[in-house]
Amino acid sequence: MQAGEKILFGDFEWNVLDIQGDRALLITEYIIEQRSYNDVYKETTWADCSMRQYLNGEFYDRFTEADKLRICSVTNKNFDNQWYKTNGGEDTQDHIFLLSMEEIVCQYFGDSSEKLYNPKKNQRYWFERKDQNNSRRIARLENNKTQVWWWWTRTPGRVGAKAVYVHGDGNIGIQGNNILKGNIADGMCTGGVRPALWLKL
């Protein structure tokens, strides 16, 4: 197995993002579903949000017992928002998780750290519309592979009631989308979910 490969595990197709020793970091190739980040509209962090509870509970339980034995429990660092200094919350122990903004921008979809850590004077919302790595972050819906959709990260947005997301064009919404209420017709911010996990090889 090598970084950049696609594999089948459980019921999903996954991209291999990294190999470290005897384990591999995977993220789903497609957006597997659309959900709000939290089920209550209030300030929260990854540690306390309903998305984390769902991924490490109901979603994790969809795997067979044999597959669960291969999914590593890992400690995730949850950093503050780089631009707004919003509290990222405590470190978490996860089986299934969302990637952080730093992991998406600086590590696994090309290195655009220079733009993340050095925002322009009047830059407030978007990361960089012309960033060369935007195309690598674009994701499509599993149930409609022609449709591009935006997807969540686990990093807080401008305030704790928002979370950073990857826009449909691959740009990063650093101010964030509302974790529940939004201007979408059904009254909820149903962002794309691309679970990630570390798999024992």
Rounded Cα–Cα distance for residues 49 and 154 (Å): 9
What whole-number distance in Å separates Cα of residue 130 and Cα of residue 180? Answer: 29
**Confidence band for 86, pLDDT divided at 50, 70 and 90:** very high
Distance in angstroms (rounded) separating the CA atoms of residues 162 and 123: 18
Residue 53, classed as helix, strand or coil, is: helix
Global pTM reads: 0.94
Q: 110 near 140, Cβ under 8 Å?
A: no
Looking at the chain, the whole-number percentage of residues with pLDDT higher than 70 is 97
Phi, psi dihedrals of residue 21, rounded to the nearest 5°: 60, -120
Quickly count: other Cβ atoms within 10 Å of residue 135's Cβ: 11
pLDDT at 64 > cutoff 60: yes
At 47 the pLDDT is 98
Q: pLDDT tens across 2-58, in order?
A: 999 999 999 999 999 999 999 999 999 999 999 999 998 899 999 999 999 999 999
Portion of the chain with pLDDT greater than 90, in percent: 84
pLDDT at 88 over 60: yes
Show the beta-strand stretches assigned E in 77-200: 92-94, 139-141, 144-149, 151-156, 162-166, 172-178, 191-193, 196-200
pLDDT score for 123: 73
